[in-house]
Amino acid sequence: MANAQTLLEQNRPTAYSIDPINVNRWSPRSFLEKEIPQEKLLSVFEAARFAPSAFNYQPWRFIVATSPEDRARFHTFIGEFNLTWCTKAPALVLIVSSTETDKGPFPSHAFDTGAAWGALAHEAVRQGLATHAMTGFDFAKARETLGIPEDYAIQALVAIGYQGPSDALPEGMAQREVPSPRKPVQELLFQGTFGQAF
């Protein structure tokens, strides 16, 4: 099988010059059962802390499970498919966002929290870690199990750890353990109005 760098070059060619960290971030499912030093783990949250947000409100919050007991609690609401691979990840993180401020509803909470997740994911690459975000879990059960207040929206669950070999995954999953391609930038841009080619 081709090495990781070759797969990145094959599946993720860039049309314009960008920092390689943007290409090198992808979502593997194979993780090593290897604990993350606390300082390294805290570095990814430090990066998220500096993400931009409207009015500097910083609506994101991270519920982190690194102990066996906490990870087992998270496993109770994760879907069966995701449980087949994420149980080896040394850190599971539920990302939530505050939907209210003292002035009322905060409409950009999800957008701002997405920026924090992006910063976290890129810093993880810099730290030699892999991340995989998922929504394949029971949101209502997660809220109940972790005691999440109603004025916080659940955004995603993220596995963080050291990437493992693809052959550690079930066969069908191992074949999919490659960096996914991206649409050409021209497909994502409109000029002036929706649908108008850039």
pLDDT in tens, 29-79: 999 999 999 999 999 999 999 999 999 999 999 999 999 999 999 999 999
> Looking at residue 93, what is its pLDDT?
98
Residue 171: is its pLDDT beyond 80? yes
Rounded CA separation 98/61 (Å) = 8
Look at residue 33 and give its three-state secondary structure: coil
Q: What is the tens place of the pLDDT at every residue in 136-170?
A: 999 999 999 999 999 999 999 999 999 999 999 99
Q: What is the b/e burial string over 21-46, where b = at least 16 CB atoms within 10 angstroms of the residue's CB? A: eebebbebbbbeeeebeeeebebbbe
Across 186-194, average pLDDT: 96
Average pLDDT of the chain is 94
Bridge partners of residue 156, in order along the sequence: 95
Rounded CA separation 95/26 (Å) = 18
> Looking at residue 92, what is its pLDDT?
98
pTM above 0.95, yes or no: no
For 73, counting Cβ atoms within 10 Å of its Cβ (0-12 exposed, 13-18 middle, 19+ buried), the class is: middle
Domains, in order of start, for the chain: 29-165 (3.40.109.10)
> Looking at residue 5, what is its pLDDT?
61
Phi (first) and psi of residue 60, to 5 degrees:
-75, 145
Residue of higher predicted confidence among 5 and 17: 17
Q: What is the tens place of the pLDDT at every residue in 128-143?
A: 999 999 999 999 999 9
pLDDT bracket for residue 1 (50, 70, 90)? very low
Q: What is the tens place of the pLDDT at every residue in 11-35?
A: 888 999 999 999 999 999 999 999 9
